[in-house]
Amino acid sequence: MQLGFLVDLHLCMGCKGCEIACKVENEVPLSTWRLRVKYVDVGTFPETKRTFTPLRCNHCENAPCERICPVSALHYLENGIVNIDKERCIGCAGCVMACPYGAIYIDPQTQTADKCTYCAHRVASSMMPACVVACPVQANIFGDLEDPTSNISKYIQVHQGGVQVRKPEKGTNPHHYYVGGGNVTLNPLASHRVDGHSLFNNITTLPVGGHH
């Protein structure tokens, strides 16, 4: 079994339901996120468009975080999930430095690394990840990539050339796919990130792990 994720960006409407569901399910502390939805506005008024991109751990086949972790706190599960053992983590932040997707954070409460685990605890009980359940438009598709009859495999078969991953040049082989993505949505360097002028806040950076 090789679990994977696919997000159809054509369907996502940026409601952030997945983000909230993840926060609640995994008790993710304030100032940190396992899953977030980034808004990027494209165009010049009046010809403008808003894009939404859910961003989470890519559960890479060749995960740099797993490789760099000195104590195997980050490890593969048999179903392909890159899981984390917070009790073993020493908080060296090597994984934070290694992850090309910025998907790992230092939990300010436990001072250990943490990230999306595809809700491994729910999957172990044959439930879907919280974000999948919360999505009102079924933009999140989750399943076994090795099973050709799974929803995710069928989706990939139907969309073929339209399926993308983030930063393929890194050689990480992500198990997280996007349909309907483009340079603007998947490449963080393809959009302006104006300091202090986001819609709802003017905080641009946060101290890693709180007050370290």
Partner 1 sequence: MAAHEILAATNAVVTLDVALPGIVWPWLVTVNMWAKSIGTGVIFMLFMLLRMHPESAKNLRLTTALVAFVFINIFLLFTLADLHQPFRMWHIFVYPHWSSAIAVGSFMASMFLGLLTLLSFLAFKKNDVLFDKVLLWTTVLAIPVTLYTASLMAQSTARELWQMPAESAQMILAALLAGSAAMILLGGNKLSNEARNTLGVVLGLSALMAFIIYMSEYIFGPMKAEEIAATIAYIKGDGPYAVMFWIGQWMTFILPMLFIVLSRVSKSDAILKLAAILALVGLAIVKHVWLMIPQLLPMS
Residue placing its CB nearer to partner 1 in the complex, 1 or 208: 208
Which one of residues 99, 131, 141, 165 is an interface residue with partner 1 (CB under 8 A)? Answer: 99
- Which tokens is 54 given? 């859910």
Q: Is 112 in the site for partner 1 (CB under 8 A)?
A: yes
Binding-residue total with partner 1 (CB under 8 A): 62
Q: Please report how many Cα atoms fall inside a 13 Å half-sphere around the Cα of residue 180, on the Cβ side.
A: 15
Residue placing its CB nearer to partner 1 in the complex, 16 or 159: 16
Q: Is 70 in the site for partner 1 (CB under 8 A)?
A: yes
Q: Is 24 in the site for partner 1 (CB under 8 A)?
A: no
Q: Is 7 in the site for partner 1 (CB under 8 A)?
A: no
Cα–Cα distance measured from residue 185 to residue 188, given in angstroms and rounded to the nearest whole number: 7
H or E element in which residue 96 lies: helix 94-98
Q: Give the residue from 65, 56, 51 showing the smallest Cα distance to 25.
A: 56
Q: Is 177 in the site for partner 1 (CB under 8 A)?
A: no
H or E element in which residue 133 lies: helix 130-134
What is the footprint of partner 1 within residues 125-164 (CB under 8 A)? none
Cα–Cα distance measured from residue 90 to residue 73, given in angstroms and rounded to the nearest whole number: 8
Residue 197 CB, shortest distance to partner 1, in Å, is: 8
Do the beta carbons of residue 172 and residue 64 sit within 8 Å? Answer: yes
Which one of residues 5, 101, 177, 178 is an interface residue with partner 1 (CB under 8 A)? Answer: 101
Cα–Cα distance measured from residue 152 to residue 155, given in angstroms and rounded to the nearest whole number: 5
Which residues of this chain interact with partner 1, rule CB under 8 A?
Answer: 31, 33, 36, 38-44, 50, 55, 64, 67-72, 88-94, 96-103, 105-106, 111-112, 166, 170, 172, 184, 188-195, 198-201, 203-209, 212
